[in-house]
Structure 1
Amino acid sequence: MSDSPLSGSVPVMFVHGLWIHATAWAPWQSLFEEHGYTTSAPGWPGDSATVQQTRDHAEQLNGVGIEAICRHYAALIDAMPAPPIVVGHSFGGLIAQELLANGYAAAAVAIDPAPIKGVKALPFSQLKSGWPVLSNPANRNRTVALTREQFRYSFGNTLSEEESDTLHAQWTIPGPGRPLFEDATANFVRNSPAAVDTHHAERGPLLLISGTEDHVVPQKVTEEVVKLYADGPSRTDYRTIEGKGHSLTIDSGWTEVAQIALEWIGANEANVNRTEEPAR
């Protein structure tokens, strides 16, 4: 690990993905704060303060889509003293890339990120993971919760049944269907909210991380995202983590992923703009 991380000069914002509550980032926040960072983990628009409250008021997330989520985090960042480093998982990883490309983030780490526009791969496991939502067009404007069995396939496929079921009980919340429908149709929509400027945006550094056993966002999908950035003017790095599924940010091996993110952030200290206002 770098001996001289950013010394707290750049805040870190964590962005959760579909079906997982923001408070699941608490262990990451503690670890990053031990290394001198100021952290935050705001929920999506419509999230309540706790897992149970969000489950009890899931209707507040009905119809929430990618654009609304991006605008929500952009507004929060506008109120911050400096653009943060954004660490996102799953759809949070897509949001992190959009915030970075539009000048709202100093750098970004996208972990098993939902595919951006331009990705053509659609592995069977990805389709099966999204099927609880995509199988019914009415789900576009309402929330859907994963059963234990659905969670076990999508998130917990590398875990014991006991650990997967524990994570399901502890962290899962109903998720809005709209982002999944928007992502699934991104390549057919001219102004898709899942589009990210991978070719022209001059931005801070980006790290993409893929678990090799992920069912929700298979490694092949993230590799296509890496290729989309290949000709861009800004730095993009890519790391794979063997044997990890989509639960990699919340399961018992989360520290391995967090350490990779910390090391990368420390190594890219010189590339992170600390003082200038972002170009938006």
Structure 2
Amino acid sequence: MASSSPLLASFQCHSSLNITIKPMAVLNNLPKTAIQYDLRKGQNRLFHKLPSGLKMEVIEQRKEKDESENPPLVFVHGSYHAAWCWAEHWLPFFSSSGFDSYAISLLGQGESDEPLGVVAGTLETHASDIADFIESNLSSSPPVLIGHSFGGLIVQYYLANIVNKQSLGSENAFPELSGAVLVCSVPPSGNSGLVLRYLFSKPVAAFKVTLSLAAKRFQTSIPLCRETFFSSSMDDQLVQRYQDLMKESSRMPLFDLRKLNASLPVPKPMENSTKVLVLGAKDDFIVDDEGLMETGRFYDVEPVCIQGVAHDMMLDCSWEKGAKVLLQWLSGLSKPGNLSA
């Protein structure tokens, strides 16, 4: 593992850019996971200190091209994942395309600290942690916030709580965004509708999903792990690699699902606010077509469904399909500072 000084130097050497960077701690203690993700070339593992004193893992990869007009990208994982799931393919892809990219491990996941209690947090606490990271490190350049699965639901809560500080004078507002992307996201009403539809229309699939996720059998069965998250063509060796990382990623459940579902649906964001891309996978074993359409209707956008990829589209065999669609959408965004929909 690299010593702390090169990491800090790497993080601070970009101070000339129009981005306010608050120094973060580097990993200088024993890893929290038995199998730690090996960073790729150009990536750094840093820590953002939250107001609570807890530290949140951030894997960052800075852009290879000097294109300052591009907004930074902040990636949020879902259940049983951590920052590493974005670092495998999408961070290298988007950094090489001119975007500073940051993948966060939510509390209790990956190398992030664990809060007190039996679950990692709530929609509000997770979104507040992300807002604190953005406010502390990216305040001068509103990012695009990208969430996968339950991470997408956290992004939706964030969207519902964005307030323009200058116009409303709120000190507790979530920082504005240049855009938001929901990747195979749990819909605004939560996962209860998904479960009910599976029970009535696909009972065998419902049993498998429950066995895989609720009973965590995906952690011990390679076929079930593949069917839940990946395409059928992914080979056993790669599935097992990701399976091992997933087993280590989530040391605490992200939410108390009963309390979560009781708090849903998420509120509607303000009209004419942040631009939203709803991105789904045709072979998604978890989020069905109706779940994807529900999310699109909620944000009044037409969802984009990628053929030939499964739920973990950022890790799947054809990961570049979703990345290219997202890159095309990003190219159509207004420059940072112009947040009109």
Offset at 1:169? 2.6
In structure 2, the partner of 1:33 is 95
User: Which residue, 256, 259, 272 being the options, matches 1:202?
Assistant: 272
1:41 match: secondary structure: strand
- Equivalents in 2 of 1:130, 1:7: separation in Å? 45
- 1:83-94 matched pairs, under 5 angstroms: 83-94=142-153
**Please, which of 254, 257, 268 is the counterpart of residue 181 of structure 1?**
257
Deviation at 1:22, TM superposition (A): 0.6
Match of 1:165 among 240, 244, 258: 240
1:22 equivalent in structure 2: 83
Q: Deviations over 1:199-222 (max 9, x none)?
A: 644321111111111111122211
In the TM superposition, residue 16 of structure 1 has moved relative to its aligned partner by 0.9
Q: 1:41 to 1:114 in 2, by over 3 A?
A: same
- Are the counterparts in 2 of residues 212 and 245 from structure 1 also a CA contact under 8 Å? yes
Name the count of aligned residue pairs.
247
Counterparts of 2:116 and 2:221 in 1: how far apart (Å)?
A: 23
| Cα distance change of structure 1 residues 130 and 176 upon mapping to structure 2, 3 Å threshold | farther
In the alignment, structure 2 segments of 5+ residues that lack a partner are: 1-65, 163-174, 199-204
Given the superposition, is the C-alpha separation of residues 132 and 205 from structure 1 closer, same or farther in structure 2, using an over 3 Å criterion?
same
Where 1:14 maps in the other structure, the secondary structure is: strand
CA contact 1:88–1:110 (8 Å) conserved in 2: yes
Output the CA distance in 2 between the equivalents of 1:174 and 1:253.
25
TM-score, normalised on structure 1?
0.74
1:227 paired with 2:303, answer: no
Change (3 A) 1:34 1:160: closer
1:10 aligns with 2:86: no
Q: Distance in 2 between matches of 1:118 and 1:21?
A: 20
Using structure 2 for the length normalisation, give the TM-score. Answer: 0.62
Cα distance in 2 between the residues matched to 1:60 and 1:167: 28
Give the secondary structure class of the aligned counterpart of 1:198: coil
Q: Distance in 1 between matches of 2:120 and 2:279?
A: 26
Provide closer, same or farther for how the CA distance between residues 18 and 121 of structure 1 changes in structure 2, counting only shifts above 3 A: closer
**Aligned equivalent of 1:73, options 130, 139, 154:** 130
Q: Distance in 2 between matches of 1:28 and 1:133?
A: 24
Deviation at 1:237, TM superposition (A): 4.0
Deviates more, 1:68-77 or 1:164-173: 164-173
Change in CA separation of 1:199 and 1:108 when aligned onto 2, cut-off 3 Å: closer
Q: Deviation digits for residues 144-165 of structure 1, max 9, x if unmatched?
A: 9833344223113533351423
Query: As a proportion of its length, which structure holds more helix?
Result: 1
1:178/1:258 CA distance change after superposition, 3 Å: closer
In structure 2, distance between residues paired with 1:61 and 1:113: 26
Could you tell me whether the CA contact under 8 Å between 2:77 and 2:150 is conserved in 1?
Answer: yes
Helix, strand or coil for the counterpart of 2:295? helix
Would the aligned equivalents of 1:13 and 1:39 in 2 still touch at CA under 8 Å? yes
Let me know the Cα RMSD of the aligned residues: 3.3
The structure whose Rg is larger is 2
Aligned to 2:221: 148
Secondary structure of the equivalent of 2:303? Answer: strand
Query: How far apart, CA to CA, are the structure 1 residues paired with 2:71 and 2:96?
Result: 14
Residue 202 of structure 2: aligned partner: none
Contact 1:101 1:201 in 2 (8 A): no
- The whole-number CA distance in structure 2 between the counterparts of 1:118 and 1:90 is 10
